[in-house]
Amino acid sequence: MKCAIIYADPFSDLQPLISLTATEYRSVTTMVPDVSSVALDLRAIKEEQAKQINNVDTEGMKHPDYYPFVDRSEVFTPPEPFEYHDPGLRADPALPVFHASNVTLERITPKLGTKIIGVQLAELDEAGLDQLALLVSQRGFVVFANGPGFKQSYNYVGIAKQLEIARQHANQPRPPTSTEISIVYQDRLNTVRKEYWAGRNSMVHWHVDQSQEPQPPAYTFFSCLETAPTGGDTLFSNGVEAFERLSPPIQDLLLGLRAVHTSKMQSAKAGKLGRPVRREDLDTLHPLVIEHPVTKKKSLYIGADTTVVSIEGLQKEESQMLLDFLRRHCFYGQDFQARVKWEEGAVVIWDQRTLMHSATMDTEEGERRHFFRIIALGGVPKAASRD
């Protein structure tokens, strides 16, 4: 099976995440497969492919269409290079859709994160989606909550033409009916996410998704299908602010350096825990400091020690010392971080180019945490230059 890759505009002419009835859903077959026509017999799947699927507690699962399906025989082909045009560059800089009289924008922190009230994501037209891209670029992430003024259940997902070529995660589960979506999941039986970080005092794992891609992710949609009453929050750290906090001599040192981003450690751990490894291992060089294509701001572009492993041209000890310093700076800088507490139906859209993120694996034993994610690849990261 070939991998689908999101490398077109993730906002223009699209309704990225749509709440539909079964009847309405059947009318958008150009967007995604009609899961209502798929006989999704979870018991049969488990019996026929027991060796290929992680243990999952299906009892009481609210969204079985997004069952975390694993097929270890699957192979995804690498994406071809493509030309990327950020939709935020097309947007009206005044953001009229989000500054209308009936819309409220609540800042989560002064410099990071905005909660949007009074706008329905599914009803944004092309201009509105371009403005959404600009707002996400400016604020790092936005939250559409499933509360008053935003009533959506997300029983189904609509992916518009710009997202019909979707980038699937090389190791994570997917729904049985789609390779364009990845599933983040845990319950009383499926504890593989916690097992990833066994032996560590903390399971907080700051990272950027799939940064080893030559054209790594730009915007990401992450939606909560089911969650525990407390715990399982998502943390974000602001790479723009992290760079601006550094002294000029350190900033100058970092400009021009490149780091090695690899998939090798992730693939090895996935294989050890029975997860699929659908891609060959990949090593890619990216600038340590990138220029955002929309805001033109400089941002640190680093991630976990399992992905960003060395700095080009430095001795091993020098590279490790510098990466450790930058990670501590980003991970512990709570005054340029934000936290999202999830509610079912909420959607967060964030910019992978400027933010690192981490789940907090602190839910009570046995509670279900069920999300779906759509990742849109972007352009080749551009090295920031000296002013």
231-258 pLDDT, tens digit per residue, is 889 999 999 999 999 999 999 999 999 9
CA–CA separation, 314 and 318 (whole Å): 6
Q: Are strands 182-186 and 369-377 parallel, antiparallel or unpaired?
A: antiparallel
User: pLDDT for 82-116, tens place per residue?
Assistant: 888 898 999 999 999 999 999 999 999 999 999 99
Per-residue tokens: 245: 């906090």
pLDDT at residue number 376: 83
CA–CA separation, 299 and 384 (whole Å): 8
Confidence of residue 51 (pLDDT cuts 50, 70, 90): very low
CA–CA separation, 234 and 138 (whole Å): 19
pLDDT at residue number 268: 64
Q: Is the pLDDT of residue 384 over 80?
A: yes
The domains located in the chain, with CATH, are 22-200+213-237+340-383 (3.60.130)
Q: Global pTM?
A: 0.80
H-helix segments, 109-238: 126-139, 192-196
Residue 282 or 164, more confident: 282
Count of CB atoms situated within 10 Å of the CB of 79 = 18
CB 6 within 8 A of CB 377: yes
- The continuous run of DSSP H or E covering 226 comes out as strand 217-226
Residue 385 or 66, more confident: 385
Per-residue tokens: 229: 């009453």
Q: Is the pLDDT of residue 206 over 80?
A: yes
Task: Compute, in degrees rounded to 10, the torsion defined by CA atoms 154, 337, 308, 324.
Answer: -160
pLDDT at residue number 179: 59
Coil, strand or helix at 308: strand
Averaged pLDDT of the chain = 77
- Of 109, 133, 113, the residue nearest 121 (C-alpha): 133
Q: Is the pLDDT of residue 194 over 70?
A: no
Q: Are strands 114-117 and 141-144 parallel, antiparallel or unpaired?
A: parallel
CA–CA separation, 147 and 151 (whole Å): 6
What's CA 41's distance to the chain center, in Å?
29
pLDDT at residue number 5: 38
CA–CA separation, 52 and 70 (whole Å): 6
Residue 224 or 4, more confident: 224
Contacts of 3 (CB under 8 A, 6+ apart): 76, 77, 78, 79, 167, 168, 179, 278, 279
pLDDT at residue number 41: 53
Contacts of 86 (CB under 8 A, 6+ apart): 133, 137, 218, 293, 294, 378, 379
CA–CA separation, 210 and 167 (whole Å): 10
Q: Is the pLDDT of residue 153 over 50?
A: no
Q: Kindly state the percentage of the chain with pLDDT values over 90.
A: 40
Residue 181 or 274, more confident: 181
CA–CA separation, 321 and 331 (whole Å): 15
Which strands form 382-383's sheet, in the order they lie side by side? 298-300, 289-291, 382-383
CB 280 within 8 A of CB 125: no
User: pLDDT for 15-49, tens place per residue?
Assistant: 333 332 323 322 222 333 333 334 445 545 444 44
User: pLDDT for 335-377, tens place per residue?
Assistant: 999 999 999 889 999 999 999 999 888 877 778 889 988 888 8
